[in-house]
Structures are given as C-alpha cells and as structure tokens.
Amino acid sequence: MAAPVEVTAWRPRVEGIDEVFHARFADHVYPMHTHDSWTLLVVDEGMVRYDLDHHEHGAPRSVVTLLPPHVPHNGDAATPDGFRKRVLYLNTGQIDVDLIGRAVDRPVLHDPRLRHRVHQLHLTLARPGDELEAQSRLALVRERLAGHLLDRLGTPPPVRDRRVARELRELLDGHVVEGITLREAAHRLHTHHTHLVRAFGREFGMAPHQYLTSRRVDLARRLLLGGMRAPDVAVAAGFYDQSHFSRHFKRVVGTSPGRYARTGRPTGVPAHRGRTPPDPRAEGRRRAR
C-alpha cells in the first residue's frame, strides 16, 4: 500500500519568498511545467529525477537543487518508496535573472554548508514571529547561491564594517518592540541586506535577530518583575504570541516567564497593588540610551 500524500504549503511574512512547500509523494509524477519564480529544492527522503532543458538530473538528499524561472521541467520519484521534499519558491528579485542560463547548466549544487543553511531557513520559516531571523538566513542563502552561479565561492569575505554594524545596532535599539525588517534597515543605512548581516556578526559575534531577541527578553524580564502578567508582557515586549515569547525567554533565561516572575517576587507580595504598570515603550527607550 502506497504511503499517503502529505502536503503543507504557506506564504510566509518574509519578503522574497513567494511560497514554502513541503510534500511527501509516493508515486506522483510531475508533467512538464514552469514556475515564475526560482525553485530551491532539498530532498529529505528518497530521490527525485527530473528533466531540465533536455537533460536528465537527479536530486538526492545530499544536494541542493536550484531550478530557474520560466524553464520547463518535470519530476518523479527515482526510488521505490517515493520522496519527501521541501521547496522554497523565491521571487525573481532574489537572484539576477541574467544567471538563469548558468542555473540551467548547473542546477545541482553539491554544497553541505548551503544544504544546512537551507534546512535552517525552513525551520525558521515554520516559527511565526521569527521573520527577522528568516530574513537574515535568506540573505546568507541568497549570497551562497549567487556565489555558485558566479563561481565566486572562494572570494575572501569583505573587511569589517564597524560603522554599519553599530548603526544597525542603534536601529535595533530604537525598534525593540515594533521591530524592523532587514530591507528597511538596509534602505536606511544605504547598504545591502547581506552586508548588514555579515558586518553585524563580525562586530558583535551574534546575528541581528539574536540581538533584537535578547533586547526583547531583557525588557520582558523587567516587565515581569514589575508585576505585569506574562500574556501582556509577550505583546508589550514585541513577541508574536505567548508561545513565541515563552520559547525565546526560556532559551535565553533558562526558565519559563511564569516561573521567573514567581521566583522574583517575595512571598505574599501581590502584583500591581497601588501602582501603575511600567510603560514598555518608555522602558525600551530608556534601555536604548
């Protein structure tokens, strides 16, 4: 009996990604078709066979496959038990359309580092609220894809740019609660998304999304100790929802928000008796100075 078909698809709130598509197929055969976006494919189980520009190719688990837009291709299982795959459909603005010919010639990329980065990006896209992290990971994936297509993977990384890194930190400090997209930050600082991520990491030893999350957790700790309820803190500190807040808080602090609040208050002292809860935006501005 064939394994049941499993399909999950969604459009994330990440500019540059038109669709995320996860599927498990046992015997589905794709006819010749095209997409108006770049198709970034990884296979987690089995193997996919496909034709592209009259040449046959295979996509095993160890590689990354990049299929260019507007070029017909098909696909089916090359193994008896079918295949499980994860796909990102990247809009054409993510990779120069002048590189379509190179992608046709070399759609199979043998690059463990790129494979791992694509995997990490998929994990991040499955977690609502981590859009800045997804934007940063997408920038690094896009950089490596372009490196393959342009034969520039051996190019030395650019020199440290402390000015840009520190200006990005100031931007993040000024948008702790509401956040800021990588695109908006790059526009304000007159530089490229990938350069922002690289410069920040080299200067501070962490990614921009990690810094913003740590600032939000720092703010949340003060609000919790000030007596604000954990569900209210999640919103006030800029997290997507309670689950998003709890996951990041526990990863940084080592305990849940509720337990942290209880252990920080002397026994018998209720929250907010006779005083006004702190203003999280004012607190965020104070910490940014």
**How many angstroms separate the CA atoms of 81 and 26, rounded?**
6
Task: Estimate the crossing angle of helix 208-225 against helix 280-288, to 10 degrees.
Answer: 130
Residue 225 amino acid letter: L
User: Mean per-residue pLDDT for 81-106?
Assistant: 95
pLDDT in tens, 128-187: 999 999 999 999 999 999 999 998 877 666 668 999 999 999 999 999 999 999 999 999
Poorest-confidence range of 46-60, 64-78, 151-165, 246-260? 151-165
Q: Kindly indicate the confidence band of residue 272, based on its pLDDT and cuts at 50, 70 and 90.
A: very low
Cβ atoms 10, 56 nearer than 8 A: no
Contacts of 264 (CB under 8 A, 6+ apart): 224, 225
* Of the candidates 121, 119, 76, the residue with the CA atom closest to the CA atom of residue 94: 121
Is residue 89 scored above 70 in pLDDT?
yes
pLDDT at res. 177: 97
